[in-house]
Amino acid sequence: MIMGIDEVGRGCWAGPLVAGAVVLPDNYTHDVKSPWKLADSKKLSRHQRELAALEIPNIAVAYGLGWVSATEVDDVGLTAAVRLAMERAVEAAGVQAEQIIIDGSLNFLAHLPGTQALVKADDSVPAVSAASILAKVARDQWMVAAEKRFPGYGFGQHVGYGTAQHSAALKELGVCELHRRSFKPIAALC
């Protein structure tokens, strides 16, 4: 049993960091005729991601999300926050996998047996693709909802990433509680 893990929101100026963990059935192969597909979430359109995010729970043996707030990112630092999000995702999935594959070059869960980091796993390992999609869709939806609580920042469009729109909003409105105060562009405004 392979668990795939990926995170989203690492480089954001605002909002949570989210990790997804997914276990697909053994020897899972995706039907290319399916109306949805598995791939690196960044290579899919918003509509494709949302469609896949609806289907993944139906085919997964287990899945979970791990959330780390902006305040926690500030408190523990980015590397520890990524590890914490991944640990929370594994716990939320509620199963013990024989192998855990993490997208990227750094094994944030090296303390767990059977883990490995694999560059571009989100585009080559179906369980990691699924984790990438679930985490991205969940975080994006959270940020869209945050726009209602914090109007004017454009969270529904840039979902917390550093954009010209986000910079302009920060200059006009200042820093809000969703911002990561330890990040240089935000720290400069505090």
Q: In this structure, are residues 105 and 119 in contact, taking their beta carbons and an 8 Å threshold?
A: yes
Q: Which domains does the chain have, with CATH numbers?
A: 2-187 (3.30.420.10)
Q: In this structure, are residues 52 and 75 in contact, taking their beta carbons and an 8 Å threshold?
A: no
CA 1 to CA 37: how far, in whole Å?
21
pLDDT tens for 30-60 read 777 788 888 889 899 999 999 999 999 999 9
Predicted local distance difference test score (pLDDT) of residue 37: 86
Predicted local distance difference test score (pLDDT) of residue 90: 98
Predicted local distance difference test score (pLDDT) of residue 28: 84
The pTM of the full predicted model, rounded to 2 decimals, is 0.94
CA 97 to CA 47: how far, in whole Å?
30
pLDDT tens for 94-142 read 999 999 999 999 999 999 999 999 999 999 999 999 999 999 999 999 9
CA 16 to CA 67: how far, in whole Å?
6
- pLDDT bin (cut points 50, 70, 90) of residue 14 is very high
Average pLDDT, the chain: 95
Predicted local distance difference test score (pLDDT) of residue 64: 98
What sign does the dihedral 80-61-47-147 (CA atoms) show?
negative
CA 16 to CA 160: how far, in whole Å?
9
Predicted local distance difference test score (pLDDT) of residue 35: 81
